[in-house]
Amino acid sequence: MPPTDAAPGPAPDPDAGTDQVFRLQEEVRQLKEAVVSHAVVDQAIGVVIALGGVTPDEGWIVLKEVSQHTNIKLRSVAETILIWGRTGVMPPGIRTALDARLGRPGLSGPPSGSPRVSGRSSR
């Protein structure tokens, strides 16, 4: 027969709920940041596709290799490519790495209205 005057368990920690709320808020913040970052990268891949006449998979590889070659975070490279698309301004290091990856010497400005295709098939 179990004892009836057993000591109650530890009292619930009132801060536990608050800690969980803070952890969940931080997780939501990180997920929102990831969604924005993903959109920026996807848009930059689109610019690379239009510029180089490559497939989406090849565009991702180009972007990743430019990031690795320049030792600049992928999202920063993507943002730079998007800015270049609007302004025509791109840092020389990224420009050189992008030219090398696309096999195109001397990018002079942002992509124009109609994409120039380098002869590669995107099928």
**Position of tokens 């924005």?**
36
The pLDDT, as a whole number, for residue 51 is 87
Is residue 90 one of the residues assigned to a domain? yes
The pLDDT, as a whole number, for residue 17 is 79
Side chain identity, residue 85: G
Is residue 69 one of the residues assigned to a domain? yes
pLDDT digits (tens, 9 = 90+) for 5-35: 666 666 666 677 788 999 989 999 988 888 8
Is residue 97 one of the residues assigned to a domain? yes
CA distance 84 to 81: 5
Boundaries of domain holding 95: 30-102
Going by the DSSP 8-state scheme, the letter that residue 8 receives in this structure is: P
Is residue 79 one of the residues assigned to a domain? yes
The pLDDT, as a whole number, for residue 16 is 73
Alpha helices, DSSP H only, in 1-123?
Answer: 14-52, 56-70, 74-87, 92-102
Is residue 112 one of the residues assigned to a domain? no
The pLDDT, as a whole number, for residue 37 is 83
The pLDDT, as a whole number, for residue 41 is 94
pLDDT beneath 70, residues of the chain:
1-14, 105-123
**Total domains present in the chain:** 1
The pLDDT, as a whole number, for residue 11 is 62
